[in-house]
């Protein structure tokens, strides 16, 4: 493992972070009620305006006025399936990149099949945890799967793994408290949707989002003793993050 000796990846993450901070824009989150508030708080810490409606009659208006779009399958019901398809098709017609987060597809045949349907509609990034990855791809190599499906795959875990089909990046930031509360992964998807909205390279945007969230978690853990207080301090650390903190803290390797 090497810790980005050239500094190129760190500089890219820092640059994308700055874009998040200075570009005031809207990001639409099609996500669960359980994850919505925390995800909104996380992107709002960058002065990004979140919206969360899943009403099919107004979803196109919200996607139209947003730069970023997250489609998260948590707490999926039939109305949100319809809204998700409508949102994705509208985003594609506008050449807007979007992020797919297939929450708990390993526990639901319906979600897994809907995920496969959405994957055919060209998401820029597929973000999923280890169980979700195994359900979809078994134990197949992430690099080969990213190449096969022509998208960026982000597999989150103790070590986050990201591939564009040509290379693999591993990020070792974060803290165990992030696994002891709900919605950190969902919020990472929200930040990812914002990153890919302001940066043309989805691979670099995905790396930046995972790095930013992991670094915030690592810094927050130094100021708290448990998962409840950690949650509030985590959002504070996102708000107070800087390019210098990113460059100093990022723990990343590339194969």
pLDDT per residue over 101-160, tens digit each?
A: 999 999 999 999 999 999 999 999 999 999 999 999 998 999 999 999 999 999 999 999
Whether residue 208 lies inside any domain: the answer is: yes
Q: Are strands 160-163 and 252-254 parallel, antiparallel or unpaired?
A: unpaired
Measured between alpha carbons, how far is 88 from 92 in angstroms, rounded to an integer?
6
Query: Tokens 């990201």 label which residue?
Result: 162
- CB of 188 within 8 A of CB of 156? yes
- CB of 153 within 8 A of CB of 146? yes
| Structure confidence at residue 4 as a pLDDT band (50, 70, 90) | low
Whether residue 185 lies inside any domain: the answer is: yes
- Per residue in 91-104, pLDDT (tens digit) is 999 999 999 999 99
Query: Tokens 């669960």 label which residue?
Result: 32
Whether residue 3 lies inside any domain: the answer is: no
pLDDT of amino acid 5: 46
Exposure string for 212-228, b = 16+ CB within 10 A, e = fewer:
bbbbbbbbbbeebeebe
Which tokens belong to 183? 């919605």
Whether residue 71 lies inside any domain: the answer is: yes
- CB of 249 within 8 A of CB of 219? yes
Tell me the residue ranges of DSSP E strands in the chain.
Answer: 26-30, 49-51, 68-72, 98-101, 125-129, 152-156, 160-163, 168-171, 252-254
Which tokens belong to 173? 């930031």
Residue 68 belongs to domain with CATH number: 3.40.1190.20
How big is the chain, counted in residues? 255
Domain count, the chain: 1
Measured between alpha carbons, how far is 213 from 155 in angstroms, rounded to an integer?
14
| Structure confidence at residue 2 as a pLDDT band (50, 70, 90) | very low
- CB of 32 within 8 A of CB of 186? yes
pLDDT of amino acid 7: 74
pTM score, two decimals? Answer: 0.97
The DSSP line for 168-231 is: EEEE----GGGGSSTTHHHHHHHHHHHHHHH-S-HHHHHHHHHHHHHHHHHHHHTT-SSHHHHH
3-class DSSP state for residue 4?
Answer: coil
The residue segments making up the domain with residue 123 are 8-254
Q: What are the angstrom distances between the C-alpha of 14 and each of 141, 160, 244, 246?
A: 29, 18, 8, 6
Is the pLDDT reported for residue 9 higher than 70? yes
Whether residue 24 lies inside any domain: the answer is: yes
Is the pLDDT reported for residue 172 higher than 70? yes
Measured between alpha carbons, how far is 34 from 248 in angstroms, rounded to an integer?
33
Laid out side by side, the sheet with 252-254 consists of 49-51, 26-30, 68-72, 98-101, 125-129, 152-156, 160-163, 168-171, 252-254
């Amino acid at each position: 493992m090497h810790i980005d000796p050239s500094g190129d990846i760190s500089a890219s993450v820092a640059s994308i972070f700055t874009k998040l901070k200075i570009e005031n824009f809207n990001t639409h989150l099609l996500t669960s009620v359980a994850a919505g508030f925390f995800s909104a708080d996380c992107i709002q810490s960058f002065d990004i305006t979140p919206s969360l409606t899943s009403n099919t009659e107004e979803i196109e208006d919200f996607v139209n006025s947003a730069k970023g779009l997250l489609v998260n399958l948590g707490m999926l019901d039939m109305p949100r399936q319809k809204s998700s398809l409508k949102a994705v098709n509208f985003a594609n017609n506008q050449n807007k990149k979007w992020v797919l987060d297939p929450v708990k597809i390993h526990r639901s045949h319906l979600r897994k099949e809907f995920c496969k349907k959405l994957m055919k509609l060209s998401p820029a990034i597929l973000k999923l945890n280890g169980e979700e990855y195994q359900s979809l791809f078994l134990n197949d190599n992430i690099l080969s799967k990213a190449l096969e499906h022509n998208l960026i795959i982000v597999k989150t875990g103790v070590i986050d793994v990201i591939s564009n089909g040509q290379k693999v990046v591993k990020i070792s930031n974060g803290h165990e408290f992030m696994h002891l509360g709900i919605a950190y992964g969902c919020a990472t998807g929200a930040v990812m949707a914002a990153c890919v909205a302001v940066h043309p390279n989805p691979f670099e945007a995905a790396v930046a989002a995972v790095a930013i969230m992991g670094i915030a978690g690592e810094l927050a853990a130094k100021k708290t003793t448990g998962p409840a207080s950690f949650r509030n301090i985590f959002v504070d650390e996102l708000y107070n993050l800087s390019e210098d903190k990113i460059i100093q803290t990022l723990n990343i390797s590339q194969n």
